[in-house]
Amino acid sequence: MAESDRDEMQAPARMPPPRMAGSLLPRFDTPLVPRNSISGRALVAVVAIMTFLASLTTGAVILVSGAANEWQSDVAREITIQVIPAPNRNPEATADKAAAVARAFPGIGEVRVYSKEESAKLLEPWLGSGLTLDTLPVPRLIVVRIASGAVPDMAQLRKQLAEQAPGATLDDHRGWIERMRAMTATAVAAGVGILILMLAATVLSVTFATRGAMATNKIVIEVLHFVGAKNGFIAGHFQRHFLMLGLQGGAIGGGSAILLFLLAGGLSRWFAGSAGGDQTSAMFGSFSIGISGYIAVLGQVVLIAVVTALTSRQTVNRTLEMID
Amino acid sequence: MVRFENVGLRYGIGPEVLRDLTFRIEPHSFQFLTGPSGAGKTSLLRLLFLSLKPTRGLITQFGHDVATLSRDAVATLRRRIGIVFQDFRLLDHMSLYENVALPLRVMGRPEESYRDEVIELLKWVDLGERMWALPPVLSGGEKQRAAIARAVIARPQLLLADEPTGNVDPTLAQRLLRLFIELNKSGTSVVIATHDIALMDQYDARRLVLHDGRLHIYD
């Protein structure tokens, strides 16, 4: 356009020369995608809440699975030898012999023969105190702990006991372990199922919240399109903006969940030794989700942010297809 | 510059809203596009603006057959066309300055390279003192001028305006018409879609009249 043409249309209200005016202009770099919109803030809230809930679910599954493994390995690390009293057999001698066999057996860590008093104590809850065990055929117990990392040959031990200490029977808690395994597998499977449902709910709610937030941006997409912006340019701007919103919400939700786990871990250490603390610790272990747990929470934050970004990109592309 | 040959347009399976359009828009030309409501003016503008593809016939723009263009090629071609929407379509979260600079920004030009140009154009359309106001606080006339400034900032070869005087009083309508005439004199082809007979009577230009989907040309 020629300079003279512009001068002809010169407005009556004059501005300072461009250099001065330039220094006065405060808003040169407003993002193409509006920030701080109500729908944007609502999306951050949805992402934060869903990430928090998904992270709690992940943490709970990790805690249950870890505690279940601990119970199982605790039970599996211990075996019991019982010496059942029988006529013409000295249970004390058999117990000592059986303990000696166990001690000499490879892979065995600690062997402890329960005294008569200790056995009486074990029966006390059922039979009451002040009991004289001499009148009852109470079996003698030998608790054997397996050395860490060792896998003793139970069949061989059972055979040696039968040969060298008749009357001594070996209980490797297999029945309990099988039950425990079934129980923990069920608990972990249920947890993983809930986690999958939680993640699906998170992805769906974040997808719909993103679409809702995008609805208010339709005019921005249209205008950018009509002033000659390429589709990739428009989609890229929206994707970056919504990735940041997703990360922001994810950081709030995931961060809160991590803080909660750290706090729970600290409290469980604080209450260690008290009856309630010990019971909780027996159920859930140390209440720590470990490094892998924190990585899983961070992974969820990234996943949810990526879902937000990709949904916005998809919505931009769909809007552009509808325009043309 | 623009060539239509036997162009027809229908939406979905409905009747043809535009039929057998054959015309040219020459470089440096000025034309009014008129016709009763529902005659297809906006549809024709959308065809000219490459936001619709014809259901039959041939449209060439700047030497390109539009049917064969990729999306990115259409976006690039659209940068040579400026459009003024009837409802302005300014972005409410951006200042007037940024709204007007938008076509240059999406081309990837750095802000320093166009700052003076945008300020000069805003002054030219009498918006120098409102350049950092946000659109929601502007009057209809101010929005209209900002929309025109945005349409011409990238010096398009073809300017399309949909009822550009529909929201302004006769005095401002006259001023806007002068603005379009000046743009035309500086080399831009102009197509103004309007109902405003008084406006058309003020300037002797070619008239494209749409009636029942057919085009009648009065040179």
What does the pLDDT read at residue A246? 92
How close does chain B come to A238, measured CA to CA in Å? 14
Helix (H, G, I), strand (E, B) or coil at B115: helix
- Residue-range domain boundaries for chain A: 31-73+177-323, 85-166
pLDDT given for residue A155 in this prediction: 86
Return the pLDDT at A20.
41
Check if B205 contacts A (Cβ < 8 Å).
Answer: no
Instruction: Report the predicted TM-score, pTM, of the whole model to 2 decimal places.
Output: 0.73
Q: Is the predicted pLDDT of residue A16 greater than 60, yes or no?
A: no
Q: Examine the predicted complex and report whether its ipTM is higher than 0.85.
A: yes
pLDDT tens-digit map of A158-214: 888 888 888 888 888 777 778 877 887 888 888 889 989 988 988 888 888 888 888
Interface test with A, best of B46, B109, B119 (most A CBs within 10 A): B119
Q: Which residues 6+ apart lie within 8 Å of A257 measured at CB?
A: A51, A52, A55, A56, A59, A297
Task: List all residues of chain B from 41 to 60 with a beta carbon under 8 Å from chain A.
Answer: 49, 51-53
A140's tokens:
């003698």
Cβ separation of A228 and B154 shorter than 8 Å?
yes
**What residue of A is the nearest CA neighbor of B82?**
A227
pLDDT at site B34? 94
User: Residue B164: phi, psi to the nearest 5?
Assistant: -70, -15
Least confident of A64-73, A108-117, B153-162, B203-212: A64-73
pLDDT tens, position by position, A36-45: 778 888 889 9
Contact B116 A5 (CB under 8 A): no
- Residue A129 pLDDT grade (very low, low, confident, very high; cuts 50, 70, 90): confident
Whether residue B33 contacts residue B193, with contact meaning beta carbons closer than 8 Å, is answered with yes
pLDDT digits (tens, 9 = 90+) for B172-190: 888 889 889 988 998 899 9
Contact present, A258 and A214 (Cβ < 8 Å): no
E strand intervals along chain A: 78-83, 108-113, 140-146, 168-171
Do A170 and A108 contact (CB within 8 A), yes or no? no
Residues from chain A that touch B131, judged by Cβ atoms under 8 A, are 15, 21, 25
Sheet holding B56-61, edge to edge: B16-25, B2-10, B56-61, B64-65
Please tell me the distance in Å from B116's CA to the nearest CA on chain A: 6
**CA of A230 to nearest chain B CA: how many angstroms apart?**
6
* Nearest-CA distance A212 → chain B (Å): 18
What pLDDT digit, counting tens, does each position of A68-86 carry? Answer: 777 777 777 888 898 888 7
Residue B148, exposed/middle/buried by CB under 10 A (0-12, 13-18, 19+)?
Answer: buried
Pairing label, strands A140-146, B16-25: unpaired
Picking from B111, B126, B188, the nearest residue to A28 by CB comes out as: B111
Q: Which residues of A touch B132 (CB under 8 A)?
A: 25-27
Q: What is the pLDDT of residues A241-260, one digit of tens each?
A: 999 999 999 999 999 999 99
Q: Please state, rounded to an integer, the average pLDDT across all residues of chain B.
A: 91
Closest C-alpha among A151, A199, A226 to residue A306? A199
Pairing of strands B30-34, B189-193: parallel
* A217 to chain B: closest CA residue: B91
What pLDDT is attached to residue A125? Answer: 79
Tokens of A202: 């998170």
Residue A222 or residue B167, greater confidence: A222
pLDDT on residue A87: 78
Q: With an 8 Å Cβ cutoff, are B102 and A227 in contact? A: yes
* Chain B residue nearest residue A10, CA to CA: B124
The 8-class DSSP code of residue A147 comes to: P
Which range, of A58-72, A212-226, B4-18, B186-200, averages the lowest pLDDT? Answer: A58-72
Could you tell me how far CA A38 lies from the centroid of its own chain?
Answer: 32
Q: Please state, in angstroms and rounded to a whole number, the distance separating the CA atoms of residues B80 and B103.
A: 10
Handedness of CA A270, A274, A277, A278 (dihedral sign): positive
Compute and round to an integer the Cα radius of gyration of chain B. 17
